[in-house]
A and B are shown apart, each in its own frame.
Chain A
């Protein structure tokens, strides 16, 4: 049996079909999102800073990332996650 791992570089990760779109929000956008849902940063869903996509997109701890995914039920689903 052959066991192995494929390492992708950042560009490959960013453009991979299975990796949804990640956008790092700037301070103003972040403020709008927090205001829209009336939440603090702690109340947003989280994503680890060593997540492969987070590393590839270069998000820092404390950033809020907008993740746009295709969804079977809803077409497009948007998630905001804070990097921890």
Chain B
């Protein structure tokens, strides 16, 4: 094997172009009267074939085998290659127009930068001819003094430059005269295929159009040269040729009118093919479109399995998996063929062992079924249980692309279990997701073993569950398991049936905890403090008065409630423990059961919030007003002290900063006190339940709605922007009071005063700015990190290495632990 250690790009020589060329293009005619390509035209078949069945006249290959061959055009007069205008100017400037000698001191040239700083002498140091200044004239000509240098003259000058002088000028990769074209390579037909429209009309590629123009003008110039036409006609044609060749390379040059199609559309020439987002690099090489994929809106389905994904019938009958017929599966596959291309679990194509592909349609399905035998390949629809990959952008971590089992369902959206919203960061406000179908058995096995949802319950980021019950599942779990929930035998039977647990119900009345115990696996032991824990000094353990101490012994729920700390992503202790001790599939079973139980119970009980739940007793309102008054007095006292200059300045701060800090902490104290009061006084309503179980919302949200909003801050300070010495015209200049700088006394339910509303809007705007700026900056930060680290892998000796075997860490992560197979980053005790 030969190792390529470097690739060097050089100028191509006219000789090389000639050598590569299969034919010389001599005529601007493309097709003759019989619509057959003209010999010596730009569509000459010797430059390759695109139509199937025809053989290439140069190499004998069929379409697909022959990659095409270059042709060439002999130009009547040389023209500049506009991609090299800059180096052409350098060569013209620093070499002598008459002898080609180097004009500047060769020892002073180090690189292009120092070269540009050197002054050109008045006379040539080699031949003593006077030297005139070279000027570049837009768009593509050069002037020596007042004389326009033709491409021909430049070429003559370049030919005289010695190889040694070129080295001094740092010109490498060929001869400078090659920057001026005397012969133009014509790319193969495969590079610029013509398309046959449905009307039978042929449509040529933009490059072909451009080449025809070039050949036509070249031919005219050649004829005029032969008949000895007047100079001005020749010059005009020469310039036109230069224009066509320039736009052939780049059709978006400043100062050059772009060549247009008959319809007025700009032609897409060589540079345009490569450049920018829609160019070859960014569109076709860095990113590609793929087959066997689908994209649509997602919607939730609490009854679908955690590992499943619901796929619309329409999509399922479009995506296929190739399956080879064997004696074991042939009857199954034949049944698929018989169901046809439109039915569920049908098939679209059959591939014969000789490679011929046949489309199955309702007309021919019986015939194809009879023909189908061992060794044939059937492109069968994806059906229930097949493995597919499911992805939501932005793909920030490995859980953004997971393998799911197909479940073909009616309607037009992808359905997914709500527990996988967290890893995908998905919601259902119109999110779309992508689906890919692995085509080989190996790919499917790999996806199933490594990427299946259940294998990704434990995130490698923190070694805990990233999949788990959210929102209603948590509220439902709490409502069932809290003290006082009584479930009749009938209801218990209903719920457990929906959950899919079969038990013999012996008692007439069950508690929620007993019901939950049917779902918890036997042998499970956990003890922890639930999210509803009030954090009282010494924990009374299972005798907790708030029922916040969860104890599960041998799968029996002894005390506590199910809430955020039991089943949620990041925090779910019970889920975490089941996944560790009973395995991934057991964790999935548990999750499916507990989420279904929670939803079913919620539907039975009902769960809602209303405005009246934010009602607080008059006494609470009075208390909050009392806090406001109490702390306002303190604030005024502080301001007074400050005005008198008596304030005790904190180290490192100015008196103003000290005052601001003290005022802010006084004002926040009001909110804190109100929050505690509301948490204590609140009735046991659904909004409260959501806040304290961690299902959604927080006590702070409730405080803002029912109690008081408090000081508004922008960038951590009270609001000071606005008019001179005041925020709004409602206040006196220099007023330092709380109200004048964004204190909101109202709550959302009561409504805000106009000034309060204005301050609230300022704070809200900062929030929006923050979130949009932060995601952008941190997103790019993460991208750079990922790009730098992506090809580091863990070798078999547990060392972290890069692609060339260089060691990055001797033990991956220093401890050699895979956090996705650990308990919170610690070793699992086996």
Contact = CB atoms under 8 A, between A and B. Distances in A.
A and B held together in a complex:
yes
Q: Interface size class for chain A?
A: 10 to 19
Interface string B793-817: 0000101010011111011011111
A39 B815 contact: no
A73 B825 contact: yes
A71 B813 CA distance: 10
Contacts of A43: 801, 804-807
Contact of B814 (A37, A74, A80): A74
Contacts of B817: 73
Given A37-B797, A37-B799, A71 B814 contact: yes
B804 to A, nearest CB: 7
B815 A73 contact: yes
A45 interface: yes
Interface in B766-811: 797, 799, 801, 804-808, 810-811
Interface in A19-52: 37-39, 42-45
A79 B810 contact: yes
A45 B802 CA distance: 11
Contacts of B801: 43
B46 to A, nearest CB: 51
A46 B810 CA distance: 13
B141 to A, nearest CB: 52
Given A37-B797, A73-B825, A42 B814 contact: no
Nearest to A80: B810
Contacts of B808: 45
B252 to A, nearest CB: 46
A42 B806 contact: yes
Nearest to B815: A74
Contact of A78 (B806, B810, B825): B810
B807 A44 contact: yes
B807 A39 contact: yes
A77 B807 contact: no
Contact of A77 (B797, B804, B814): B814
Given A39-B805, A43-B805, A43-B806, A77 B811 contact: yes
A42 B813 CA distance: 22
A45 B807 contact: yes
Contacts of B805: 39, 43
Interface in B288-329: none
B510 to A, nearest CB: 46
Nearest to B826: A73
A15 to B, nearest CB: 24
Contacts of A38: 797
Nearest to A73: B815
Contacts of B816: 74
A72 B24 CA distance: 73
A8 B825 CA distance: 38
Given A39-B805, A43-B805, A74 B810 contact: no
Contacts of A37: 797, 799, 807, 810
A37 B814 CA distance: 16
Contacts of A39: 805-807
Interface string B124-163: 0000000000000000000000000000000000000000
B791 to A, nearest CB: 15
A44 B800 CA distance: 11
Contacts of A42: 806
B806 to A, nearest CB: 5
A77 B810 CA distance: 9
B815 A71 contact: yes
Nearest to B808: A45
A73 B799 CA distance: 16
Contacts of A45: 806-808
Nearest to A81: B807
A50 to B, nearest CB: 22
Interface in A42-84: 42-45, 71, 73-74, 77-80
A32 to B, nearest CB: 14
A41 B342 CA distance: 63
A80 B815 CA distance: 16
Contacts of B811: 74, 77
A73 B811 CA distance: 12
Contacts of B806: 39, 42-45
A73 B814 contact: yes
A10 to B, nearest CB: 27
Contacts of A71: 814-815
Contacts of B813: 73
Nearest to A76: B814
Interface string B487-516: 000000000000000000000000000000
Contacts of A73: 813-815, 817, 825
A84 to B, nearest CB: 13
A43 B805 CA distance: 6
Contacts of B797: 37-38
A81 B804 CA distance: 17
B578 to A, nearest CB: 26
Nearest to B825: A73
A71 B808 CA distance: 16
A22 to B, nearest CB: 15
B92 to A, nearest CB: 45
A44 B806 CA distance: 6
Nearest to A72: B814
A80 B817 CA distance: 20
B792 to A, nearest CB: 13
A58 B797 CA distance: 31
Nearest to A69: B814
Nearest to A33: B810
A33 B316 CA distance: 55
A40 B450 CA distance: 33
Contacts of B814: 71, 73-74, 77
A36 B807 CA distance: 12
A73 B826 CA distance: 9
A2 to B, nearest CB: 17
B689 to A, nearest CB: 39
A38 B182 CA distance: 56
A28 B813 CA distance: 28
A78 B814 CA distance: 8
A8 B311 CA distance: 69
Nearest to A78: B810
A80 B808 CA distance: 10
A73 B797 CA distance: 19
A54 B805 CA distance: 25
Interface of B: 797, 799, 801, 804-808, 810-811, 813-817, 825
Top 6 A-B residue pairs of the complex, sorted by shortest distance between their CB atoms: A74-B815, A73-B815, A74-B814, A43-B806, A77-B814, A71-B814
Given A37-B810, A38-B797, A78-B810, 5 more contacts: A39-B807, A42-B806, A45-B808, A73-B813, A79-B810
6 contacts: A37-B810, A43-B804, A44-B807, A73-B813, A78-B810, A80-B810
